[in-house]
Amino acid sequence: MKQIAESIRDRFMKLGIDVPVEDIESRLDELITKFKVPSNEAQRSVINYFLKKYSIPKNEFYVRQAEPQLTKIVDITENGQWANLKAKVVQLWENTHESISQVGLLGDETGIIKFTIWKNAELPPLEQGESYLLRSVVVGEYNGRFQVQFNKNSSVEKLSDPVEVGGGDFTPAAREAELRNIVDLVGNQWATVRGKVVQLWENSHESIEQAGLIGDETGVIKFTNWASSELPDMEEGKSYMLKNVVVNEWNGKIQIQLNKSSSIEILDEDIEVGTSSFTYFGAMIDIQTGSGLIKRCPECKRALVKGACAEHGKVKGEYDLRIKAVLDSGTSTQDALINRELTEELAGISLDSAIAMAADALDPGVVLDKLKHELVGRYYTVSGHRLDRYILVESITPRTSLDRELLNEMFAELGVE
């Protein structure tokens, strides 16, 4: 806390105001320790208090401080610290959050870091590939990784001299990113990935071209292909080389994103996706909306929403069967996606008979009702790849009785001896 207080004092000293460091530290301690105010908010409150006390305009303090003390990205080590950076915008990411103006990656010669500009900061947009002097950004920490955030106290100044990133040009066009196995991917890096499209997900967001799962021999990862990338669609079950993708982390999960710097190359091979799988045992307690008889776009296989594909508009859809189930082991719940083949086998209903049922009733909802009647409340063991909250089910076995081994497992989870 003393280090933060001294940093605030130094900033006032640049304006010729000597604020006693003890006064700053005392106010910080009261806000953070007594009132549990987050560190960055406490710093802002203390600064604003002394600005008012000494009649200093905020604009003069935050924007017009000449020759700011610069921090290198590699030296960002403390959550809540303020920093001034000279950095290049390495990558701008697509953003769908209404409170965020921009998000992406900044870099200097020492490293790369994620940044977020909040809309209420009211700052001009940054341009990819350009370099800036960034004043009064706040360091945050999420899932053990530091990032910088821009707010109303931050300022942006475009530089004429470019900032070198990592000792050289980090723009993907300058060099192809290294080919990496999926299991070795970490956040905040460029990579080239080869893999098979395991699954394409239904998508209704206009800024996303495709989203789903891609896998290689070492694992499976989520991918997002943004519409602005102007890249061709991929097909489920085919193998591709994805060059210069951005690897980032969201809610503790690694994922990859394709953008204008990326490319897609179809491979004439059938990549074997890693066989590591997750097994879960529990009762099926719900079958969610979006299950049963659905229609998919004949072009991209997305599930239609009100008869329309997010990419291809109104189309003549192709029927499909699926189940989006919720399983409960007694100590946890697990979402599971069950494809057509397994749905037919499990429920004893074919796609053709499901179509006939819906036609007779003039309501496709009768298929969902039948699935719920036949399957909910029964016990199953499911196995498959696990991603985020879902198991992508590859096998499912009904359990009509609980054998001794399963009972022992359940008792162990419950802590019963």
What CATH number is given to the structural domain containing 132?
2.40.50.140
Structural domain contains residue 414: no
* pLDDT given at position 173: 43
Structural domain contains residue 342: yes
Task: Report the distance separating Cα 184 and Cα 219, nearest Å.
Answer: 9
Are both 397 and 282 inside the same structural domain?
yes
Last residue of a domain, one of 156, 188, 205: 156
Angle between helices 21-29 and 39-53 (to 10 degrees): 130
Task: Report the distance separating Cα 219 and Cα 187, nearest Å.
Answer: 16
Task: Report the distance separating Cα 385 and Cα 393, nearest Å.
Answer: 7
Structural domain contains residue 401: yes
Q: Which CA distances in Å does 330 have to 98, 283, 415?
A: 37, 8, 12
In 333-389, DSSP assigns E strands to 333-338, 379-387
Structural domain contains residue 184: yes
Q: How many CB atoms lie within 10 A of CB 417?
A: 5
* pLDDT given at position 60: 66
Q: Residues with Cβ < 8 Å from 57, sequence gap 6 or more?
A: 51
CB 5 within 8 A of CB 20: no
Nearest in space to 147 (alpha carbons), one of 166, 128, 134, 158: 134
Structural domain contains residue 47: yes
CB 365 within 8 A of CB 359: no
Q: Residues with Cβ < 8 Å from 166, sequence gap 6 or more?
A: 107, 109, 111, 112
Are both 188 and 248 inside the same structural domain?
yes
* pLDDT given at position 64: 53
Are both 56 and 75 inside the same structural domain?
no
Last residue of a domain, one of 21, 42, 63: 63
CB 204 within 8 A of CB 168: no
DSSP bridge partners of 172: none
Are both 258 and 292 inside the same structural domain?
no
Q: Which CA distances in Å does 16 have to 41, 48, 392?
A: 24, 17, 63
Are both 56 and 116 inside the same structural domain?
no
Q: How many domains does the chain have?
A: 4
Name the DSSP letter for residue 305. Answer: B
Task: Report the distance separating Cα 296 and Cα 317, nearest Å.
Answer: 5
* pLDDT given at position 416: 55
Are both 132 and 205 inside the same structural domain?
no
Task: Report the distance separating Cα 181 and Cα 376, nearest Å.
Answer: 39
Are both 53 and 89 inside the same structural domain?
no
* pLDDT given at position 412: 60
Are both 288 and 374 inside the same structural domain?
yes
Structural domain contains residue 161: no
pTM of the model: 0.44
Task: Report the distance separating Cα 9 and Cα 12, nearest Å.
Answer: 5
Last residue of a domain, one of 32, 63, 94: 63
Are both 386 and 324 inside the same structural domain?
yes
Nearest in space to 179 (alpha carbons), one of 243, 224, 234, 231: 243
In 3-60, DSSP assigns E strands to none
Are both 253 and 286 inside the same structural domain?
no
Encode pLDDT of 66-123 as tens digits. 556 889 888 888 888 888 999 999 888 776 677 888 988 888 888 888 899 988 888 8
Tokens matching residue 227: 């519409």
Are both 234 and 354 inside the same structural domain?
no
Encode pLDDT of 4-37 as tens digits. 788 788 878 877 788 999 999 999 888 888 887 8
Are both 294 and 390 inside the same structural domain?
yes
User: Computed over its alpha carbons, how large is the radius of gyration of the chain?
Assistant: 27
Domain that holds residue 382: 276-406
Q: First CA to last CA across the chain, in angstroms?
A: 49
Task: Report the distance separating Cα 180 and Cα 182, nearest Å.
Answer: 6
Structural domain contains residue 146: yes
DSSP bridge partners of 385: 392
Tokens matching residue 33: 């320790």
Nearest in space to 292 (alpha carbons), one of 326, 318, 320: 320
Spans of the chain, pLDDT less than 50: 167-174
- SS3 labels along 136-166: EEEEEEECCEEEEEECCCCEEEECCCCCCEC
Structural domain contains residue 338: yes
Containing H/E element for 359? Answer: helix 351-361
Task: Report the distance separating Cα 174 and Cα 191, nearest Å.
Answer: 14
